[in-house]
Structure 1
Amino acid sequence: MISIWYPAQDATRHPTAPYMPAASGAEFLANDTGLHPGQAELPLTHAHVDAPVDRHCRKIPVVVYVTGKNATRDNTTVIDEDLASHGYIVVTIDFPYDAGEVEFPDGHIVNAIPDSARGDGSAMLAERVADTSFVLNQLDALSHGADPDTDHHPVPRGLAEALDLTRIGLFGHSLGGVNVASSMYADSRFDAGMDIDGGAEGPVVQAGLDRPFLIVDGNKSSRATLPDYQTFWTHLHRWHRDIALLGSGHDSFTDLEAFYPQLAQVLPLPTSELVHLFGTIAPARAVAWQQTYPRAFADQMLTHHRRRVLNQPSSRFPEIVFIP
């Protein structure tokens, strides 16, 4: 299952998109937060289902998002909406049996299976890399007039013509970040990659990459503790940066940073657990990062507009440090 976000016109004539489908959304609230039915509800998005692509847009660069383990394609909606609102097509991917809950159009849900039933981690990563390239193949088919939707749902007007598959960025969080490096190694169609609090595994560690790559860390450099990541860093042959968001936790780069503070009074989690997940950074500052740095990366790498925040410290973001 994928979602596609894009600049639209006449959007309000179409239904507002839910954050997640109803059944999987209910599972998410129960399984990921421990809340009981009725204690909270997920928001609507700012998007509208099946709205036509903005006719003023010509070819639009594409940014693909790959999730972390047990996460779903919905969990970077803050970032996805920001990118789409500034002229990008964003494609978010769910990996069945890896994602926490994937709801299909007929209503059935596929849940993550235990790691012990998946084999070694390299097999899981190989599946993700193959799926990520498969999605690009289907987007290419779409751009040539095919409808790759399994249920033959009509494609929103103008979408096929708008896809610019000569400019494709890839970003991912956690295991999705590992996915980014390996997918770029396996598939040269990806022009740039952003690894958010992830790492690198497999052949790409020694081979490196010849395309731009941004590492985004939590509160400290993961290269200091992951030898393979440091080796990978030394084999990056084009533009590359390593930045850290001070005070952040592993989930500060997802929508959970926006949700959990609102749920703090009813969450069955001690404060220490919230600090473990989200660090000590103010939620508004973490969300400000989400609405600045991914777009700056896409701007600089896909449209060649240099963004200062990627190349030097910014007084607007004192939480960001550059790691040599």
Structure 2
Amino acid sequence: MFRRNGVLGPTLPVAGDDIARAQTTPVTLRLPAPTGQHQLGVTTLHLVDESRRDPWNGTVRELMTTVFYPAADVADYPVAPQLTHAAAAVFSTLDAVHLHPELPDSGVNWTATQTHSHTGAPALPGRRPVLLYSPGGADPRTIGTGVAEELASHGYVVVTIDHTGEASEVEFPGGRVRAIDIPGDPRTDPRLFRTMIDTRIADTRFVLDELAKLAAGRNPDADARPLPENLGQALDLRRVGAYGHSAGGATVAEALYEDRRIDAAINMEGYLDYMPEEPDQEGELLPIAKHGVDQPLLLLGTDGFRDARIERSWSAMLDHQQGCTRWEQLDNATHWVFTDYSNMAPQLQDAGLMSAEDRAKLVGAIDPADSVPAVRNQVLTFFAEHLSR
């Protein structure tokens, strides 16, 4: 399914024409079930960094994270939705109309999608490797739920991070929602791009600081909300990995270079360079691509998003011999196949809410029966190899 550094593997046929049929009730989308042996608990942490100002609105920097973990007992704990009503109200407007125009602007009940994780369930005893997830630019952390649950079901504690101000929406305790308010487009503004990456790296390091407090028996939640039983004792911060998509991929790769607490990282289609100051120039390589790193780094890409910036910045990374960097490619796919859209887009097409063309733009024509396990297996195998000590 994946091909290594440009060595062609088998591809799948392009899907047929989209099915057009009228919808009488909103569609409920499903997330793929995790395959690991563990039942899952989930909680959120509201984290406030008093030492930093938010670059997008000038207030103190505050973040929301979700923690997925193996649970000891889930019988009396409710299953968490992927999106709450407050978050879905913003998501359904911003993502469908502005951020992801391929998505339908109606016909989906975004609040009805259930995860496989139980809110507040006690954590299973035993310390476990910790994984951080950084989503792509404008995407909320909730669109990385499927991979996070898969990892947690196999024995990891997974912490997904919203980078406030550039995520489509972030819901804080009490129902307060902050919509995206970054003042421009970092894909076309080099200064904004640098600020975004620098802020994301600082967010990642701060979350690690707060997890250290949690592992030491303190409650880092800014509102002092009760924590699930045994959650702090479940964190083994001697074994930390990070993975991210797009801008999140660049974030975790550079965080791997800058923060020795991170042992291994997966970059899912994030550029490893800054935006050029002029259109006809090449952007400066990120320090990790410029200097290399001695920790393991996996580069996961697709044939549908393999452009000149990927070729140049990822090849520079591979040129360094001191580390353990590998490049894998998923064919018949494109950029958002690494997110929950890989499974959702085909459901939307089947319901007549997305055309075959828009599905291909979002995730490619690959069948989710192939793409979902392919991505999961790459991520699981990598972290099992490098965080198993």
Same fold by TM-score, threshold 0.5 exceeded?
Answer: yes
Counterpart of 1:21 (choices 84, 87, 95) is 84
The aligned counterpart of 1:276 is: 361
**Residues 59-115 of structure 1: CA deviation (Å, up to 9, x unaligned):** 100011001000111112111111111110000000111111111112121112245
Query: What amino acid does structure 2 have at the position aligned with 1:164?
Result: D
1:36 aligns with 2:36: no
* Structure 1 counterpart of 2:74, from 3, 8, 11: 11
Deviation sequence 1:176-219 (CA, Å, 0-9, x none): 11101111122110000100111213222212111000000111
User: In the alignment, which residue of structure 2 is the partner of 1:164?
Assistant: 236
Structure scoring higher RCO (CA < 8 A, sep ≥ 6) equals 2
Q: Supply the RMSD in Å over aligned alpha carbons.
A: 2.0
Q: How many residues align?
A: 302
C-alpha separation in 2, matches of 1:125 and 1:192: 19
* Residue 287 (structure 2) aligned to one of 203, 210, 217: 203
Q: Is the 8 A contact 2:246 2:269 kept in 1?
A: yes
Q: Percent same amino acid at aligned positions?
A: 34
Residue identity matched to 1:130? A
Does the CA-based 8 Å contact 1:211-1:238 persist in structure 2? yes
1:248 maps to what in 2? 333
CA change 1:110–1:290 in 2 (3 A) is same
- What amino acid is aligned across from residue 167 of structure 2 in structure 1? A
In structure 1, what is the Cα distance between the partners aligned to 2:73 and 2:196? 41
User: Aligned in 2, Cα 1:244/1:184: closer, same or farther, shift over 3 Å?
Assistant: same
- Of 307, 318, 325, the match for 1:233: 318
Give the TM-score of the pair, scaled to structure 2: 0.73
Residue 154 (structure 2) aligns with: 86
More strand by share: 2
Could you state the TM-score of these two structures normalised by the residue count of structure 1? 0.87
- Residue 117 (structure 1) shift: 7.4
Cα distance in 2, alignment partners of residues 237 and 281 from structure 1: 35
Residues 1:215 and 2:299 aligned together: yes
Point out the more displaced range, 267-276 or 16-25: 267-276
Partner of residue 96 from structure 1, selected from 164, 186, 191:
164
Letter in 2 for 1:131: D
Aligned residue number for residue 276 of structure 2: none
Q: Which has the higher helix share?
A: 1
Deviations 1:102-151 (A, max 9, x none): 11112121112245277421111000000000000000011111111011
Query: Where does structure 1 lack aligned partners over 5 or more consecutive residues?
Result: 305-324
2:115 alignment partner in structure 1: 45
Most deviating of 114-123 and 78-87:
114-123
